[in-house]
Structure 1
Amino acid sequence: MVTKHDEVDVRPLTLAWVSRHLEVGERVVRAEALQGGITAEMRRLTVGTPDGGTRDLVLRSFVDPFYVGHTEDWLHREAGALTMLAGTGVPAPGPVAVDPTAAHCEYPSLLMTHLAGRTVLDDEGLETRVPLLAGQLVAIHALRPAERPRQYVALTTADTVVTPKGADAAVWAAAVDVIRRPAPPYEGRFLHRDFQPGNVLFAVPLARPAGARITGVVDWAATSWGPADLDVAHCSVNLALLHGPVWGLRFAEAYEEAGGVLAATASERLYWQVRDGLATSEEVQLVAQAWRAAGRTELTMRAVEERLDAYVTALMDALG
């Protein structure tokens, strides 16, 4: 998340709820908007402690009516995932409190610990960050929770794909035909399901960008059980749109170099890559808006559409 340094008010019912989950003598002294989220409103809360110090928490609230129908399930799953992740070595926030039905807050909300670091969406230092992203995803897929999350949900169908303006209609029609086929067999893994640069926090030394390290992975609301290829495909398409198609194609290689195991055949791997690429066609506007708000002002909707078209075309070229 990117911090927007302007003070904002926390809604009164929500503030009262947060206050009930603080330690004795603590109080919220500052709230800052965090930009970069698409589905939820994010706030960093600075909490004053009795000894005169401070600590930070993060408040996630679903305020958009479009998403409210899903939030009870999302927040239950995210809180459960954060509880499971504690002690695993995967750097994730710790859950503090959850109000999935807005029984106490103005909107469904999750309160969690704050992680150091920041999202990095720039091209500079990408050669260092991509292997780190790949290694972190391998570690996530190695988790074996006592209780499996729900089965993955495909985020697109052959009938909902949106072909970008100016794209080769024949190429996109062929890509849609790929996802009409039954999904390939797979060995299930614990999936983040929205693993991409916008949900990974880095510490990057100013004098030495190559010394970057991951400090956190956030937004666990979509955790599920499914093929590792699906998480890899999702990060791949995000890299392709942020940094160019070649980086989308590179990520799967980096994942394997980090010890990850993908589907056995090239056609099976490409099925998942194509599926997630096409799913992104339906939310290009939201994605582009979030990235522009985070500082990538050159990523207009048209620019992102062109990169998506180039990426899907490259995948289909690989299919032969």
Structure 2
Amino acid sequence: MTTVGTPRRVQRRAWLRIFTSGLLLWVLTVAVTFVTGNPNLVPTLVLLGSFLVPVTFVAWAFERRDTGEINAELILNTFITGGVLGVLAASLLEQYLLHPSPGLFFGVGLIEEGVKLVALAWLTRRLHVKSVRDGMILGASVGFGFAAFESAGYAFTALFTEHGLSLMQLVETELLRGLLSPVGHGLWTAILGGVLFSPSTREHFLLSGRLFVAYLGVSLLHALWDSMHQIAMILTLLWTGTAWQYNLLARGYLPQPTETQVRLMTFLDWAGLIVVAVVGVGWLLFEWYRAPRSRPPTAAWRISTGNWATPT
């Protein structure tokens, strides 16, 4: 006999079905591409690998929406439109506003988090009830959309090397970015979305000092994430650098690191990324659990707005 709660439990497994089927298709595409060497399969490989993890996490987040305001159409719109607009705007602004400097990575963080925040606010401006948790989910959707399209670009670029086309490098790039994407763009924009939508259940956005501080905070996390390899390199040189390496640097040459330095640099690089990820996830959880759950809309509100979506 089927219980009343079964459909809900089945619905909550949608993200898992998306991930397992998508992963199987990606592995199958990798195998066939390597066996046949067919270049026509490269776009399929790039798209599957770049979108699998972002789409899975958006589906997982969608199951935890706070009100009936969020539907599949809005999630799809924020993911695709928000992601594309964010990538295009960031590309234009970074091209004309940024130049090589010590603050380059922080500038990238400010621009990319700013364009994602603007895209999120624009695409969700007509929501009648702005729940904090829904804001985090929609922010994650915009961020993961940005990450998916950005990863597709990186994967496509990785295909081309000085020795010709490299499918192995493409696959390695997709694996690395897929593993790291849950603690990147989606996480940072989810935090901003929660702050943008707070306090809960109001009709208009509130541009507050707290939102500005959150924007600077996630931009800093973004900058630290992007610059961690360089930070690890500098720390390794400061701690273990030798006289001949400093002499080469003074003359404008980049010295070859020793095996010990390579190991230390790799450790510091990954340790730094883990610290940034833990801070980001901790911040997200703090915002999520401190947010009040929204009450179901009243019948009068439904009649006045014409919104008859069923709250979850």
- Specify if TM > 0.5: no
Structure showing greater Rg: 2
TM-score by length of 1: 0.29
Of Structure 1 and Structure 2, the greater helix share is in 2
Of Structure 1 and Structure 2, the greater strand share is in 1
User: 1 or 2 for the larger relative contact order (CA 8 Å, sep ≥6)?
Assistant: 2
TM-score by length of 2: 0.29
